[in-house]
Chains A and B, each alone.
Chain A
Amino acid sequence: MIDEAVVARVLAAALRTGGDFAEVFAEDKLSSSARLDDGKIEELTSGRDRGAGIRVVRDDTTGFAHTSDLTEEGLRAAAEAAGAAARGGGGGVREVALTRRNNTSPHEVQILPEDVAKSRKADLLLKANDAARAAGGAVRQVGATYGDSHRKILVANSDGLLTTDDQVRTRLMVSCVASGDTGMQTGYEAPGRTIGFELFDEVDPADIAREAARRALVMLKARPAPSGTLPVVLKRGAGGVLFHEACGHGLEADLVGRDASVFRDKVGTQVASPLVNLVDDGTYAREWGTYAIDDEGHPAQRNSLIENGELTDYMWDHLRARKAGRQSSGNGRRQSYHHLPMVRMTNTYVLAGEEDPEEIIRQTPHGIYCVQLGGGQVNTATGDFVFGITEAYMIENGEITHPIRSANLIGNGPEVLRAIDAVGNDFDTWTGTCGKDGQGVPVSSGQPTLRVSAMTVGGTAA
């Protein structure tokens, strides 16, 4: 993407104002998407994002500039702007010697998206549309989007690091609207993996569409969700987002460092039920949040966060780790070269336990069973978090009964973690986009079927 000698000269220019660390992050990303709605392929889109972000750190101050001009002149201008922002009294000439480091990918990509005929991408959508509409006359609308990206990154810094990575992601999203006596309801299904077009060797667009349609049709029969505190059983895969919000964000070292996390000073203490073992794993082959290196060039790692309920570590990026005198945990990520990296999750999941999932439901006299969640939000400083249910049912006398309408559930992270009283022996993951400080990055979360003994369900029924 950029010549090695140019990178070295740009880093040296970046350090000229006295910075003690400089970094070049260059990115060349090709994306393509196809959108079907209302029975028609509305359009195919191709996108090209190419540029570099340069940061210079001096003590606790970071200067940052980015440019879409990858010539030496353009890069130097950005380096000077970043250096000016982090200027100090010192300065002078500092040479940077780069050593190229190769990375091991967690898995191989078989079919690059740019090698696939556009017509094949469009055909997936037509297939999804037909399958969803065949699911029932009450399905009134189908939207389907195919998207892929091939992102090449280069990271070089004044510690002498020079490394590159190729990241390929492919996803299909199907949403359906069903209409009945109670109005309209929606259903959604959207699998994605960090692989190429081979995704469709294992994922049939028709199955995805039927699942989205089934969900919308089930919701037509849904009754208002209850209001108040109830036991909540989360089906495998569906509830990983609970941990993402209840504690994942609170374990990000940048938020901990600014005293904006209820988990500050809690390493080594019991923060969750002994049944909870939580991991953040950027090496999880093929998952949505996987990569060989993070956006600071650090190799992805499997990091244990909670073991038997005890907090073992936070997640770290380069800056926060440097300040704490330790290694990054490979969690420094950014949306694009337009952004500064910060601490982000990758694939965050709870390890399977020992109980039979069906038994967990049977042992719940009155509660709700969540099959699909629709994202969430947390205030890490207070620990309060919400997540939405998009497919859920009542549990009455240990049996799953009628579906309930969408609602948010609200809880406090530390309290909910302690209230987990059953963990199943099954496991699945969920694909999502995590937003923090205006930047979105692909993540996944996962968990076995488990139960929270009490959470507030925000429905409308008394």
Chain B
Amino acid sequence: MAPATLFDDSLLTDTFTIVPRLDRPSTYKDHQYQGSTEQWSTDLARTTTLYVGNLSFYTTEEQLYEIFSKAGEIKRIIMGLSRTDKTPCGFCFVEYYTHENALECMKYVNGTKLDDRIVRTDLDPGFKEGRQFGRGRSGGQVRDEYRQEYDEGRGGWGHMRAKQEEDRRIQQEENYEAIASVPAGAELEINGRLGGQSGDM
């Protein structure tokens, strides 16, 4: 063994890498988690559960099973449901039998596509009753509350935007009166450059 005095011993134990590993937890922390930050970290260091997001509402458990079993045997899948109508609202928890499988999932499955959508996974301290429900005002996930883009796989417009769109539709319906005959439009030859036959080019 090399004389330990030559270089700092920590150089043989630190986990520094140039290329960051993908099987590390992200900076996200569930704000309803009942425990300290350290507890959160210890939970994640041995967890077998993943939070899975950005799913289409129409993605089935069997599709999830197919892709997630590429990283190991699945113990159970808990579909995320809308609090109000108990239908899938675009997230789920996948639980493996081993922590290693959860890490492999982070490395190999996170960021690939399912149903034409990028699957996002994150290590999770474990499912607790109640977490299967969306936390948005309308029952689904919070992100679907404020989403401004139209997303066909997630029920169209975000809930707030959907309400605006609906209001607009109602307003339009109320105010607009269809006409009976289509006007022909006046024939003018004042400015030939804008489309008339005569005039300079």
| Physical interaction between A and B | no
Chain A positions within 8 Å of B, measured between CB atoms, are: none
Chain B positions within 8 Å of A, measured between CB atoms, are: none
